[in-house]
């Protein structure tokens, strides 16, 4: 495993939410940082309390621990987010004046995983909430998914349907109680109830049935992860061919039997956000082969709501826990809706009568370069903000088309919606409009400008055009790197490398292998992959063999070309030019026999990366100036000579790294920003980062927002700054 060595001096940003304002927190942070000889600043912003400290990495980790252990007694930290930044060379520690917009701080938190106190009560037969699936307190429970309007008070949540009993009311009104002003406070006498029993649901699971469970952010489909027939049935009914499923483990201990889990990964699993963490599976376990297919990871979470705790306590084996929807549709949230939409998928339903206001999928996180990186930002993170190094106009950013998210800019914070999904269906477009409405209402926000993708046919672009607001069209790949630069606090000029599968270029071609010299929102395209034609246009996104055929046509001529598209290529009909690195991955995956098509976005590239496994080599194919000609020749020659696929895959990845080094050396900009879906490839990202860092470059990769199109809205928002 190549984890880049951390430079001696670093900068750590910690964003804290909860009761951290007005309790002497800033002076405390100041004292602690100065005592530890760290530099940086602390400020109150609409995103919460933001701290940036700079110093030796071990000191920063120590600071983070002490911040938690020694913080003021009256403070309650409900959410914390970390981001590792490059050192800035600040000379002292300061308390900065608050953002002018900090008055707008809204108390809408993400949904929080069950706290230790509540979990203990849940399993305590003496407690009045023993085995009550909806227990919560000020430190935990649903938030974003139950709030209807602001201010965040019980009458403005879906808990308004339940009248507090005297005992719950006493807790709610007593400042000394853990449930003081816990808006969803409830007990078996006065709160929400299950419709059905946990025992029946577990019995159904044991029988191999598919159970639809009403969770926190919507319905989940559960099935025994050890039962390949049951998993196959779920795949068929959900129309999800090979995309890996996430698992819920009964506990961290059981998770350890199935996966290698590092201390940093334990921290993520047990965090308040309780996301799906992508872990390395142990060999030879009883997890069915068709749960994750050829993925090198298992997506794992541990119980994060009382209902999940009770269910997993009863059912001691790993379950698939996947969104309750058919592929491409948003997750179902209402009981009547679920019974209709999931009728043909689920055999058994376990529902309850606490309404969910908005759908929120489980978030996905993975360690890359030794840091947590969010790959899908939803439950547990939405609607939190990302602090950015510039003050924004009131901008609404509507994102891209795939993996859509939307965002609003409030001063120096960008608030991001939960992952909405691909805007392919009417339902998804409805969820998109609702997310815009939600963000604006929850933050009392009135947009004055709307930022959208340059692509003329995206549903999000159409919405923006009809909004009646001044429109800013942002080029897709520029938005990718702008997002990464902003979340990493990059100041001044940098080299932005933006690689993905598809995005509308300034020249109308499909881009996806781009290098920009960038500063603020000034971008110059300084290099790109040599262009090639996609026979059949969009069809090539799913059918990677089309990209392969096109490259073979160029390199070896018509005789060697797949006859299905040869006439098209010969006559240049319906052939769309592209510079996409994602499509180059598809082509190499096809030529090596790894994958002929993508059954989900990025599948062929993922399979090709997996081929490398633990193989390590410095050898690389030629890719001079991004010209794939010599590379394709070499791949074909290797294939004919019987070179193994893992070695071909490694040489291909290394060629991309070498090309990055070439361009970086030529452009002579110290700061390098890597973004776009291709950089979900951990081998490529870690290897490129390590190679660049060893040559003195400072490398920035995504942490708080995804490198894929889920990060586009952040980039659009920051590019609205003139
Ligand atoms: Zn609690
Ligand atoms: Zn009660
Ligand atoms: Fe993209």
Give the SS3 label for residue 465. helix
Query: Looking at the predicted structure, is the pLDDT value of residue 262 above 60?
Result: yes
In this predicted structure, what is the pLDDT of residue 99?
Answer: 61
Give the full edge-to-edge strand order of the sheet including 9-19: 76-86, 9-19, 48-56, 39-45, 93-95
**227 domain residue, yes or no:** yes
Query: Looking at the predicted structure, is the pLDDT value of residue 104 above 60?
Result: no
Single out the residue of 469, 460, 463, 416 nearest to residue 442, CA to CA.
416
| Ligand closest to the CA atom of residue 706 | 3
In this predicted structure, what is the pLDDT of residue 27?
Answer: 87
Query: Looking at the predicted structure, is the pLDDT value of residue 4 above 60?
Result: no
Query: Looking at the predicted structure, is the pLDDT value of residue 326 above 90?
Result: no
Stretch among 149-153, 192-196, 702-706 having the lowest mean pLDDT:
149-153
In angstroms, what is the span from residue 309 Cα to ligand 2's centroid?
20
Instruction: Give the end of a domain, one of 192, 214, 243.
Output: 192
Examine the domain organization and report whether 647 and 564 are in the same domain. Answer: yes
Q: Determine contact, residues 559/571, Cβ cutoff 8 Å.
A: no
In angstroms, what is the span from residue 420 Cα to ligand 1's centroid?
28
Single out the residue of 630, 633, 626 nearest to residue 657, CA to CA.
626
Examine the domain organization and report whether 54 and 132 are in the same domain. Answer: no
pLDDT tens digit string along 467-519? 999 999 999 999 999 999 999 999 999 999 999 999 999 999 999 999 999 99
Examine the domain organization and report whether 252 and 337 are in the same domain. Answer: yes
For 270-295, what is the mean pLDDT? 95
- How many other CB atoms are there within 10 angstroms of residue 693's CB atom? 17
Stretch among 97-111, 225-239, 582-596, 676-690 having the lowest mean pLDDT:
97-111
Give the SS3 label for residue 402. coil
Q: Is the sign of the CA dihedral 301, 305, 307, 310 positive or negative?
A: positive
Cα 363 from Cα 477, distance rounded (Å): 24
For 688-699, what is the mean pLDDT? 98
Mean pLDDT over the full length of the chain: 94
**102 domain residue, yes or no:** no
In angstroms, what is the span from residue 308 Cα to ligand 1's centroid?
14
Residue 587, both tokens? 């082509």
**376 domain residue, yes or no:** no
What are phi and psi for residue 431, nearest 5 degrees? Answer: -65, -35
Which DSSP symbol is given to 5? P
Residue 131 sits in a domain of what CATH number? 3.90.870.30
In angstroms, what is the span from residue 677 Cα to ligand 1's centroid?
37
In this predicted structure, what is the pLDDT of residue 1?
Answer: 38
Stretch among 137-141, 296-300, 532-536, 670-674 having the lowest mean pLDDT:
137-141
In angstroms, what is the span from residue 600 Cα to ligand 3's centroid?
15
In this predicted structure, what is the pLDDT of residue 176?
Answer: 87
Domain ranges, residue 440: 383-473+708-716
Query: Looking at the predicted structure, is the pLDDT value of residue 103 above 80?
Result: no
* 671-675/698-700 β-pairing: parallel
Q: Determine contact, residues 509/576, Cβ cutoff 8 Å.
A: yes
Single out the residue of 245, 499, 273, 483 nearest to residue 365, CA to CA.
273
For 264-280, what is the mean pLDDT? 96
In angstroms, what is the span from residue 136 Cα to ligand 1's centroid?
5
Examine the domain organization and report whether 595 and 512 are in the same domain. Answer: yes
Query: Looking at the predicted structure, is the pLDDT value of residue 179 above 60?
Result: yes
| Ligand closest to the CA atom of residue 581 | 3
In this predicted structure, what is the pLDDT of residue 316?
Answer: 96
Examine the domain organization and report whether 207 and 314 are in the same domain. Answer: yes
Q: Determine contact, residues 529/579, Cβ cutoff 8 Å.
A: yes
Examine the domain organization and report whether 290 and 397 are in the same domain. Answer: no
DSSP 90-159: --SEEEPPPPTTGGG----PPPBPPPHHHHHHHT-TTSTTTT-TT--BTTBB--TTTB-SSS--GGGBGG
pLDDT, greater one: 327 or 536? 536
Helices 603-612 & 682-694, crossing angle to 10 degrees?
60
Cα 97 from Cα 362, distance rounded (Å): 36
| Ligand closest to the CA atom of residue 132 | 2
Examine the domain organization and report whether 429 and 568 are in the same domain. Answer: no
Which DSSP symbol is given to 458? -
* 48-56/9-19 β-pairing: antiparallel
| Ligand closest to the CA atom of residue 478 | 3
Query: Looking at the predicted structure, is the pLDDT value of residue 243 above 70?
Result: yes
Q: Vertex 358, ends 233 and 181: CA angle to 5°? A: 125
In this predicted structure, what is the pLDDT of residue 582?
Answer: 98
**Going by C-beta distance under 8 Å and a sequence separation of 6 or more, which residues neighbour residue 19?**
74, 75, 76, 78
In angstroms, what is the span from residue 232 Cα to ligand 2's centroid?
42
pLDDT tens digit string along 556-577? 999 999 999 999 999 999 999 9
Q: State the pLDDT confidence band at 107, using cuts at 50, 70 and 90.
A: low
In angstroms, what is the span from residue 145 Cα to ligand 2's centroid?
21
Q: Determine contact, residues 16/48, Cβ cutoff 8 Å.
A: yes
Query: Looking at the predicted structure, is the pLDDT value of residue 411 above 80?
Result: yes
Stretch among 175-184, 260-269, 271-280, 548-557 having the lowest mean pLDDT:
175-184
Examine the domain organization and report whether 203 and 176 are in the same domain. Answer: no
**312 domain residue, yes or no:** yes
For 530-548, what is the mean pLDDT? 96
Q: Determine contact, residues 516/508, Cβ cutoff 8 Å.
A: no
| Ligand closest to the CA atom of residue 113 | 1
What are phi and psi for residue 518, nearest 5 degrees? Answer: -135, 150
Q: Given the structure tokens 């760290």, which residue do they identify?
A: 38
Please classify residue 721 by burial: count the beta carbons closer than 10 Å to its beta carbon, then call 0-12 exposed, 13-18 middle and 19+ buried.
Answer: middle
In angstroms, what is the span from residue 178 Cα to ligand 1's centroid?
8
Count of structural domains, the chain:
5
In angstroms, what is the span from residue 403 Cα to ligand 3's centroid?
9
In angstroms, what is the span from residue 547 Cα to ligand 3's centroid?
18
Q: State the pLDDT confidence band at 2, using cuts at 50, 70 and 90.
A: very low
In angstroms, what is the span from residue 174 Cα to ligand 2's centroid?
14
Share of the chain above pLDDT 90, in %: 86
Q: Given the structure tokens 């108390």, which residue do they identify?
A: 107
pLDDT tens digit string along 199-209? 999 999 999 99
In this predicted structure, what is the pLDDT of residue 152?
Answer: 82
| Ligand closest to the CA atom of residue 458 | 3
In angstroms, what is the span from residue 140 Cα to ligand 1's centroid?
4
Give me the helices (H) in 259-300, please: 263-269
Examine the domain organization and report whether 552 and 655 are in the same domain. Answer: yes
In this predicted structure, what is the pLDDT of residue 3?
Answer: 47
**482 domain residue, yes or no:** no
Query: Looking at the predicted structure, is the pLDDT value of residue 102 above 80?
Result: no
Cα 656 from Cα 653, distance rounded (Å): 5
Cα 29 from Cα 33, distance rounded (Å): 6
* 219-224/319-323 β-pairing: antiparallel
- How many other CB atoms are there within 10 angstroms of residue 355's CB atom? 18
Single out the residue of 399, 402, 320 nearest to residue 362, CA to CA.
320
Stretch among 217-231, 326-340, 596-610 having the lowest mean pLDDT:
326-340
In angstroms, what is the span from residue 711 Cα to ligand 3's centroid?
9
In angstroms, what is the span from residue 131 Cα to ligand 2's centroid?
14
In angstroms, what is the span from residue 112 Cα to ligand 1's centroid?
9
In angstroms, what is the span from residue 137 Cα to ligand 2's centroid?
13
pTM for the full predicted model: 0.93
Cα 512 from Cα 576, distance rounded (Å): 13
In angstroms, what is the span from residue 330 Cα to ligand 3's centroid?
21
In this predicted structure, what is the pLDDT of residue 535?
Answer: 97
Examine the domain organization and report whether 678 and 557 are in the same domain. Answer: yes
Query: Looking at the predicted structure, is the pLDDT value of residue 650 above 90?
Result: yes
In angstroms, what is the span from residue 183 Cα to ligand 2's centroid?
12
Instruction: Give the end of a domain, one of 44, 74, 95.
Output: 95
In this predicted structure, what is the pLDDT of residue 79?
Answer: 79
In angstroms, what is the span from residue 707 Cα to ligand 3's centroid?
8
First-to-final CA distance of the chain:
42
Examine the domain organization and report whether 79 and 227 are in the same domain. Answer: no
For 361-386, what is the mean pLDDT? 94
Instruction: Give the end of a domain, one of 173, 192, 211.
Output: 192
Residue 670 sits in a domain of what CATH number? 3.30.420.40
In angstroms, what is the span from residue 168 Cα to ligand 2's centroid?
4
Q: Determine contact, residues 558/569, Cβ cutoff 8 Å.
A: yes
| Ligand closest to the CA atom of residue 140 | 1
In angstroms, what is the span from residue 140 Cα to ligand 2's centroid?
17
Share of the chain above pLDDT 70, in %: 97
pLDDT tens digit string along 22-61? 678 888 999 999 999 999 999 888 778 899 999 999 999 9
- How many other CB atoms are there within 10 angstroms of residue 6's CB atom? 16
For 131-146, what is the mean pLDDT? 95
In this predicted structure, what is the pLDDT of residue 603?
Answer: 95
In angstroms, what is the span from residue 129 Cα to ligand 2's centroid?
9
Please classify residue 277 by burial: count the beta carbons closer than 10 Å to its beta carbon, then call 0-12 exposed, 13-18 middle and 19+ buried.
Answer: buried
In angstroms, what is the span from residue 172 Cα to ligand 2's centroid?
10
In this predicted structure, what is the pLDDT of residue 477?
Answer: 98
In angstroms, what is the span from residue 263 Cα to ligand 1's centroid?
24
**722 domain residue, yes or no:** no
Examine the domain organization and report whether 21 and 58 are in the same domain. Answer: yes
In angstroms, what is the span from residue 587 Cα to ligand 3's centroid?
18
**479 domain residue, yes or no:** no
In this predicted structure, what is the pLDDT of residue 448?
Answer: 97
In this predicted structure, what is the pLDDT of residue 500?
Answer: 98
* 449-453/385-397 β-pairing: parallel
Q: State the pLDDT confidence band at 18, using cuts at 50, 70 and 90.
A: confident
In this predicted structure, what is the pLDDT of residue 100?
Answer: 54
Stretch among 87-96, 554-563, 580-589 having the lowest mean pLDDT:
87-96
| Ligand closest to the CA atom of residue 601 | 3
In angstroms, what is the span from residue 114 Cα to ligand 1's centroid?
5
| Ligand closest to the CA atom of residue 135 | 1
Stretch among 74-83, 372-381, 406-415, 649-658 having the lowest mean pLDDT:
74-83
Residue 91 sits in a domain of what CATH number? 3.30.70.100
In this predicted structure, what is the pLDDT of residue 105?
Answer: 56
Q: State the pLDDT confidence band at 106, using cuts at 50, 70 and 90.
A: low
In angstroms, what is the span from residue 479 Cα to ligand 2's centroid?
49
Q: Determine contact, residues 578/550, Cβ cutoff 8 Å.
A: no
**210 domain residue, yes or no:** yes
């Amino acid at each position: 495993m190549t984890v880049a060595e951390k430079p001696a001096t670093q900068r750590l940003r910690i964003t804290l939410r909860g009761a951290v304002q007005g309790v002497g927190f800033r002076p405390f942070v100041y004292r602690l940082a100065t005592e530890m000889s760290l530099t940086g600043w602390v400020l109150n912003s609409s995103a919460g309390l933001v701290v940036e400290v700079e110093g030796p990495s071990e000191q920063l980790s120590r600071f983070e621990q002490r911040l938690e252990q020694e913080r003021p007694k009256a403070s309650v930290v409900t959410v914390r987010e970390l981001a590792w930044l490059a050192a800035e060379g600040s000379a002292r520690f300061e308390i900065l004046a608050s953002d002018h917009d900090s008055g707008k701080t809204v108390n809408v938190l993400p949904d929080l995983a069950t706290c230790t106190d509540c979990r203990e009560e849940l399993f305590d037969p003496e407690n009045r909430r023993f085995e009550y699936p909806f227990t919560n307190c000020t430190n935990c429970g649903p938030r974003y998914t139950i709030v209807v309007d602001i201010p965040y008070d019980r009458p403005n949540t879906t808990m308004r349907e339940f009248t507090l009993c005297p005992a719950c009311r006493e807790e709610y009104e007593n400042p000394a109680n853990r449930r003081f002003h816990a808006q969803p406070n409830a007990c078996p006498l006065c709160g929400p109830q299950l419709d059905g029993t946990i025992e029946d649901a577990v019995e159904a699971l044991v029988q191999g049935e598919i159970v639809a469970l009403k969770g926190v952010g919507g319905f989940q489909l559960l099935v025994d992860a050890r039962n390949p027939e049951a998993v196959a049935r779920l795949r068929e009914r959900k129309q999800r061919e090979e995309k890996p499923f996430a698992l819920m483990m009964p506990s961290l201990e059981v998770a350890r039997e199935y996966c290698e889990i590092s201390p940093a990964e334990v921290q993520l699993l047990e965090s308040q956000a309780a996301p799906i963490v992508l872990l390395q599976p142990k060999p030879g376990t009883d997890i069915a082969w068709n749960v994750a297919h050829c993925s090198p990871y298992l997506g794992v979470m541990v119980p994060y709501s009382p209902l999940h705790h009770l269910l997993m306590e009863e059912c001691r084996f790993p379950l698939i826990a996947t969104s309750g929807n058919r592929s491409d549709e948003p997750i179902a949230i209402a009981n009547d809706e679920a019974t209709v939409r999931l009728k043909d998928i689920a055999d058994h339903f376990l529902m309850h009568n606490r309404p969910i206001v908005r759908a929120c999928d489980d978030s996905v996180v993975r360690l890359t370069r030794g840091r947590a990186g969010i790959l899908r930002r939803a439950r547990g993170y939405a609607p939190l903000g990302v602090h950015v190094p510039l003050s924004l106009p009131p901008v609404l950013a509507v994102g891209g088309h795939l993996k859509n998210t939307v965002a609003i800019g409030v001063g120096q914070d960008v608030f991001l919606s939960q992952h909405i999904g691909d805007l392919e269906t009417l339902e998804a477009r409805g969820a998109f409009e609702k997310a815009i409405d939600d963000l604006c209402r929850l933050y009392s926000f009135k947009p004055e400008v709307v930022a959208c993708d340059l692509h003329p046919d995206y549903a999000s672009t159409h919405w923006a055009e009809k909004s009646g607001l001044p429109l800013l069209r942002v080029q897709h790949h520029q938005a990718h790197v702008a997002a990464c630069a902003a979340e990493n606090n990059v100041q001044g000029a940098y080299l932005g490398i933006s690689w993905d599968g598809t995005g509308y270029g300034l020249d109308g071609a499909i881009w996806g292998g781009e290098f920009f010299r960038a500063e603020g929102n000034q971008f110059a395209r300084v290099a790109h992959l040599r262009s090639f034609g996609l026979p059949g246009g969009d069809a090539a996104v799913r059918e990677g063999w089309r990209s392969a055929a096109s490259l073979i046509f160029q390199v070896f001529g018509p005789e060697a070309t797949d006859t299905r598209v040869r006439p098209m290529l010969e006559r240049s009909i319906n052939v769309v030019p592209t510079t996409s690195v994602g499509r180059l991955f598809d082509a190499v995956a096809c030529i090596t026999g790894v994958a002929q098509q993508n059954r989900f976005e990025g599948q062929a590239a993922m399979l090709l990366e997996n081929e490398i496994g633990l193989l390590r080599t410095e050898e690389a194919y030629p890719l001079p100036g991004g010209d794939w000609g010599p590379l394709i020749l070499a791949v074909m020659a290797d294939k004919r000579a019987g070179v193994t696929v893992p070695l071909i895959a490694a040489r291909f990845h290394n060629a991309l790294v070498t090309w990055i080094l070439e361009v970086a050396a030529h452009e002579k900009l110290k700061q390098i920003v890597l973004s776009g879906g291709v950089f979900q490839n951990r081998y490529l990202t870690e290897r490129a980062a390590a190679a660049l860092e060893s040559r003195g470059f400072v490398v920035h990769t995504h942490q708080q927002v995804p490198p894929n199109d889920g990060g586009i809205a952040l980039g659009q928002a920051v590019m609205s700054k003139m």
